Amino acid sequence: MCRYANTAIPRPPFAHFHISTFAHQIMINYTKIDHIHVCVPRERLDEARAFYADVMGLTEIYRPDVFSAPGYWFAIAGIELHIGVEPTLPRSIRHSAFEVKDVKAAAEYLKSKGVEMCGESIIPGRERFSFLDPFGNRMELLEFDK
């Protein structure tokens, strides 16, 4: 079962504002999520490449040679997953979530590969679970009720 660091999350300085306070001042027209970035220890970068390609079934894509640190990019569900390097951090509830066509099959597949699974609270209208990659990055997979 996943365990997370008990850390206090500081309240943002704008948390006391009502959402409508900003609605008239700022307009950002989002079109889509471009990429998600996860980090792994530098010495395990090639292991991360193998995990995301071989276990998760993602396709590696071109990564421009403009960065000072190594990494890999993968295509996933119309966006990109970027893998970069940084020292290992304590586990937390930070995560990305992806909708899948068959969440039960996905869970069974990941279990068969020895991936660490995490329980999740029940949310009506969707079935979901999360897991940790071998580097402590939490990912959630979900399927909405039909």
Q: Is 137 exposed, middle or buried (0-12, 13-18, 19+ CB in 10 A)?
A: buried
End-to-end Cα, the chain, rounded Å: 29
Map out the domains of the chain with their CATH numbers: 31-144 (3.10.180.10)
Q: pLDDT tens string for the chain (146 positions)? A: 555 555 455 555 655 555 555 555 778 888 899 999 999 999 999 999 999 999 999 999 999 999 999 999 999 999 999 999 999 888 888 999 999 999 999 999 999 999 999 988 999 999 999 999 999 999 999 999 98
